[in-house]
A and B are shown apart, each in its own frame.
Chain A
Amino acid sequence: GAGVSQTPSNKVTEKGKYVELRCDPISGHTALYWYRQSLGQGPEFLIYFQGTGAADDSGLPNDRFFAVRPEGSVSTLKIQRTERGDSAVYLCASSWDSGGTDTQYFGPGTRLTVL
């Protein structure tokens, strides 16, 4: 595709529910990143994939958060037993490799609201 796409653009859920957020990276990009941005703050790293494997998941806040990328393209961020503090914009980015030398291209984000 022309750019990174994320669905849904907005998600409202109730406390305790399960949500899935999807990211479609730029075609051919092997590295995929998830970030979370709270109001007035810069994005905060969650996890990144090189191909199908999670190369660094040190930013996941707890075991309620999990992400997969089974075929090395589309990725899904999964949040179990959502809490009000999970409300934020979840951003996905992709790049050609994970060597850190390439520009990361960001999607428009998914705004998650937990009531």
Chain B
Amino acid sequence: KQEVTQIPAALSVPEGENLVLNCSFTDSAIYNLQWFRQDPGKGLTSLLLIQSSQREQTSGRLNASLDKSSGRSTLYIAASQPGDSATYLCAASRNKLIFGAGTRLAVHP
């Protein structure tokens, strides 16, 4: 049974810092690994999807890496801004998504 863990559970940083959010999964037989952002009381917004054959994906200030053999993914956020404050969720996919509990990020000015 796939289990996904995210560390840290919460993070508070000053504006401008570079951040690393961690995600680990127990079953490496995945199709892809997805990162989402969730604002309070809202649905999920897809940030990055890394196919199982890929090592990383980049979008703007975001970079996600995937190491299937070790069951790990990281989301790197460069030059954080207050608008990045949200909960970040990773999900391992084999058709259905198995989510971690998320990392709650607060970026203060």
Contact = CB atoms under 8 A, between A and B. Distances in A.
Interface residues of B, number: 24
Contacts of B97: 33, 35, 43, 45, 93, 104
A56 interface: yes
A59 to B, nearest CB: 7
A22 B104 CA distance: 29
Contact of A100 (B46, B94, B101): B94
B99 interface: yes
Given A42-B101, A101-B32, A103-B46, A55 B91 contact: no
A98 B31 CA distance: 11
Interface string A87-111: 0000101000011110111111100
Which among A42, A45, A98 has the greatest number of chain B C-beta atoms within 10 A? A42
A14 interface: no
Interface in A47-63: 48, 55-56, 59
Contacts of B100: 42
The interface residues of chain A, by DSSP majority, are classed as loop
Interface residues on A, range: 20 to 34
Interface of A: 4, 33, 35, 40-45, 48, 55-56, 59, 91, 93, 98-101, 103-109
Q: Give the 8 A-B residue pairs with the shortest CB-CB distance, closest first.
A: A42-B99, A100-B31, A106-B44, A45-B96, A108-B43, A106-B43, A100-B95, A103-B46
19 contacts: A4-B43, A42-B4, A42-B91, A42-B101, A43-B89, A45-B96, A45-B97, A45-B98, A48-B95, A55-B95, A93-B97, A99-B31, A100-B95, A103-B34, A104-B34, A104-B46, A104-B93, A106-B44, A108-B42
